[in-house]
Amino acid sequence: MPLVCLGLSHHTAPVEVRERHAFPAHRMGEALIALRDYEAVREAVMVATCNRLEIYAELEDYETGVTQLKQFLTNFRHGDVGDMDSYMYTLLGSQAIDHLFRVSTGLDSMLIGEAEILGQVKDAYIQAQRARSLGKTLHTLFREALNAGKAARSQTTIGNESTSVATAAVDFAKAHVGTVAAKSVLVIGAGKMGALAARRLKLEGATEISVINRSHDRARSIVANLGMGRALEMPGLVEAMQAADIVITSTGASHFILTPGNVAEAMLGRPGQPLTIIDIAVPRDVDPDVARIPGVHLIDIDGLKHVVEDNLEHRREAIPLVEEIISEHAERFHQWYQSRVAVPIISSLTQKAEAIREIEVERLFSRCPELTDRERMLITGTSLTIISKLLHTAVVKIRDKAVENRAEAMTHALILDELFDLRTKPLEAGVAAVFAIDVDSAE
C-alpha cells in the first residue's frame, strides 16, 4: 500500500494562492470523514496551517488514489482547484515519510524551528483520530514524527528563543518604526497568533496594547492574561485604527477585515500620521489595495520571510543534529513499515498451529478423563511450549528478513503459505505493494 503526501506550501505557492485554498479548521473533521468514502484511500491525515495544506494518505493504488485525493479537494471545496496543480507536490513512499519528519521538527517551516508546527501536526493527528480516518500505518507514522519533533526541541537548539510568525511581525514593527514602547498597537484577532503577538509586544515594552475580536470575551481573556491593555469590540474597528500606530492582524475570517474603505476612513481621523499594518493571516485579513492609501505601510506574511534571517543563524547550526534525529526516527518507522509484510503469514501460521494444538489437547483430555487438573495444566503448558519453540525460528527469520529485504521475505512467506496451506489472502496484494514501494525507493 503506497504512502503519499499531496500538498502545497510556502515553498511552492505564494500567499494569494495559499489563502485561496486555505482549509477552514472547523470543517476538518467533516473533510476527513468525507475522505473515508474514497475507495482507494485507506487512511488519511490533513495538516492545514497558514503556510501549508497537505494530505498524508495510505492508498490502495498510487495513480487511482492520487486522482481521488484531487477529486476530493474539488468536490469538498465545491469550487475550481485546477490551479493547484501548478503549485502542488506529490511525494511517494520514503519521500513522504521524510517530509513529515522535516515538517514536525520545524526544518520545513518558513521560520526554521518555529514553535507552533509541532502542535499543529499533533492537532492534525488528533482530528484524524476523532474522524476515524487514521489506521495503524499513519498512527505509527505520526506518533514517530511527533516523537522526532519533541526530540529535536529537547536535544538541539533548533527551538531556542521563541520565533514565530507573530514574533516576526513584532520584530518587523520594531525595525520599521523603532521601539514599540512609545507606540500604540492594535492586535486584531484573539486566536493563538494574536495572543502570541500581544505577549511579545508586552515583552518588548509596549504599554498601549488594544485587542479587538469578534468575540469580546476572547479579547478580554488575552488582556486579562497580559495584565494590561484594552479589549475592544469589532464595531469600533475604525476608531481603534485611528488611535494606533501599528496594527497586527490575524483572524480566521474568510474575507478581508481591513478594506480600502475602512482604512481610508481611519486615516482621515489621523492626518499626517503613518500607519503600519502587518497581516499574518492566511487567508489574508487585509485587502492588498490598502497599500495604495497614502501613509499606510502594509506587509503580509510572505514579506516577513527576511525579517528573522539574522536571528536564525544559531538555529541553522542545529540542522545537522536535527537531521540525525530525523534519520533515526525515520529508520525506525521504515523498519516497522517493512516488517508489516510478514504480519499476515506469521498470524496465519500461529493461528493454524494453535488451532491444531487445541484440538489435539482436547482430544487427549476426552480420552483420558482420569487426568487431574494439575496434569491437564502441565500437558497444556507443554503443548504451548512445543508450538512456541517450533515456530520461533521461522517467525524471527521472516520478520528480520522483512526488514532486510522485503521482496525475499515475501518469497519466504509465499513458500510457508503453500507448505502449510495457510491460504493467506493479503499475500498477493502484499507482493504488489512491496515492489511498488521498492521502485519508489530506487528512484
Q: Which residues are catalytically annotated?
A: 50
- The CA-atom distances, in angstroms, between 26 and each of 226, 253, 277 are 27, 12, 27
Cell numbers at residue 344, please?
499476515
Cell numbers at residue 332, please?
525506525
Q: 403: exposed, middle or buried (C-beta count within 10 Å: 0-12, 13-18, 19+)?
A: middle
Please state, in angstroms and rounded to a whole number, the distance separating the CA atoms of residues 129 and 427. 28
Angle at 58 between CA 132 and CA 128, to 5 degrees: 25
Q: 276: exposed, middle or buried (C-beta count within 10 Å: 0-12, 13-18, 19+)?
A: buried
Query: Would you say 266 and 275 are in contact if contact means Cβ atoms under 8 Å apart?
Result: yes
Looking at the chain, how many residues does it have? Answer: 443
Cell numbers at residue 125, please?
493527528
Q: How many CB atoms lie within 10 A of CB 57?
A: 28
Strand locations in 114-197 (E): 184-188
Distance, C-alpha 379 to centroid of its chain = 52
Please state, in angstroms and rounded to a whole number, the distance separating the CA atoms of residues 342 and 104. 29
Cell numbers at residue 217, please?
470575551
Positive or negative: CA dihedral 131, 137, 143, 145: negative
- The CA-atom distances, in angstroms, between 180 and each of 208, 272, 288, 311 are 9, 19, 25, 19
Query: Would you say 137 and 43 are in contact if contact means Cβ atoms under 8 Å apart?
Result: yes
Query: Would you say 399 and 342 are in contact if contact means Cβ atoms under 8 Å apart?
Result: yes
